[in-house]
Amino acid sequence: MEGTSNSQRKGLPRSLQFQRMERVVKAMQHPTAGVPVRSQKLFLTTVPNAFTGNDITEWIMQKLNVKDSAEALHFASLLCYFGYFFHVTTNGAVQIKEDNELFRFQAPYFWVSTNWTTGNTEYAIYLMKRTLRNRQRHGLEEHEIRALEDLKKKLLHQWDFVTMQAEAQFRVLKDRKKTDKTIIDSQERAFWRVMRPSPDETSVLEMDIRNDLYTFRSMRRDEALKRRLEYLQQALSNRVRTKSSQTHQSLCVFFEVFSDYDPFLGHCPPSNPWLTSDTDRWNLMQPLVESPTQLRVRRWAFNCKELLSDPTGVREFMKFCKAEFSTESLNFYLHVQEIRNCPLSQMKHKAEAVYREHLAPNAPQEVNINDTTRTKIIKQLENPSRELFFEAEKHIIELMKKNSYPRFIQSEQYRNLLQTAPNPVPKKTGIFHFVKDNYFRTSSSSSEDEYDSDDSTHRGENTTALSNNAANKNQTGGTAVATTVNVAAAVAVVNTVSNQSSGNDGNKLNLRK
């Protein structure tokens, strides 16, 4: 099995992610400051080069400055999931707990980033080597037996080579000591469990690191296929069939409604701060403002999602709900948003607080949800996730859409907001919008008379040059009509430039023809 060089590892997918994890694992294997690795006693046997779940959790909390033990266990489970250490007694277990379960570090040769290019031939040699050993201790599992049969069909042309390599490796393994043989066998088995997992499990090579390891559970093949079929049948039955013309029409309506709010397709009210010196847009578009603009207030009436996504809209909506004594639904929605954005250490405390405030029997602000959703939430309170209240939140939003939100849009408060909302007028951009007004002139540097005399001199020079050009064109054979048109256009340009300069200076001068 050929390893991957350093230059090849840099081009692999998620190489930076593996490098960060490997730096932590190397620090864990430090002989003095790392995780204590020693021979552990397990019943009547001795397990060499092992450590416990308590050891690695304490090391992470001390060395990596992690205060919450749940976060330390989660990080250790991720490292175990990527194969940097493995469970000694339980095959395929990746959940680490604060107990005396034994784990062992994986050799750097068997890291995923080192052997990314392993193929079917190496896996077939490993399975054949397992068949040559004691079946009671090293027998193949069901998915490995099926994989070996498939590999025999695919590698039929080189199966003699696979058998020869397996027998040679088996003979070399026989000559090793019993301790070394046990360690190498466990490391190799853990490596292939990561590289070629069972069909019921997901592979780290294809899956995102943000997988929820706390809800990980092994599943049999027939159960996985049954769930897959149920999902596909439900997707086919709930499929919404619409015409392409209706879809295009709805998209056009959507862009027409939101075109005024897009600074690229529409305009950038009140003024574009990149083209003008007006920075009022930054102040008006802050999350919380005292008086929102008319365009912003009008957007709240599009749908409930637009209102709840704007902090200023949520504040005005809360005022309306307090006047109607119906704040429990909005408070529940806001508390659920806090749980989604809170640290992992505070999640359980906040989830229990939300349950006591809104879902418990005789709660002070009890919301209306069904018993099925309430029972699911109670079962998951011991190990909550950020999506614990997802179904309840969805139901509460639907209730607000039907009850409090339409009343708010039709209320006198919203109409007053819409009438009193400011509508800032955009500022006009000049020709040279990137030059400030007082760049060329200051009141202390020179007087207005000097600039007036200079302007008149420049205007006289420009007029003389333009008339000379016109005379030269007439001498070279141009017609009189063309000369008259050129002179008139030149005079018009001079008039425009003089009016602009005189408008900036505050002195309006008329150029005599």
- Roughly how many angstroms between the first and final C-alpha of the chain, as a whole number? 92
For residue 152, the surrounding DSSP H or E stretch is helix 142-154
**Helix H or strand E segment including 143:** helix 142-154
Q: Which residues of the chain have pLDDT under 50?
A: 208-216, 432-513
- The domain limits of the chain are 12-116, 286-420
Q: pTM for the complete prediction? A: 0.42
- pLDDT of res. 437: 46
Neighbour tally for 420: CB within 10 Å: 10
| pLDDT attached to residue 333 | 94
Report the CATH number of the 286-420 domain.
1.10.167.10
Contacts with 256 (C-beta within 8 Å, 6 or more apart), sequence order:
none
On whether the 12-116 domain is CATH 1.10.10.10, my answer is: yes
pLDDT of residue 5: 55
Mark residue 92 as left, alpha or beta (left: phi above 0; alpha: psi -120 to 50; beta: remaining): left
Short-list 242, 271, 261, CA closest to 309: 261
Q: What is the 3-state secondary structure (H, E, C) of 163-196?
A: HHHHHHHHHHHHCCCHHHHHHHHHHHHHHHHHHC
Going from the C-alpha of 43 to that of each of 40, 46, 47, 87, 89, the distances in angstroms are 10, 8, 10, 16, 12
**∠ CA 280-284-290 to the nearest 5 degrees?**
130
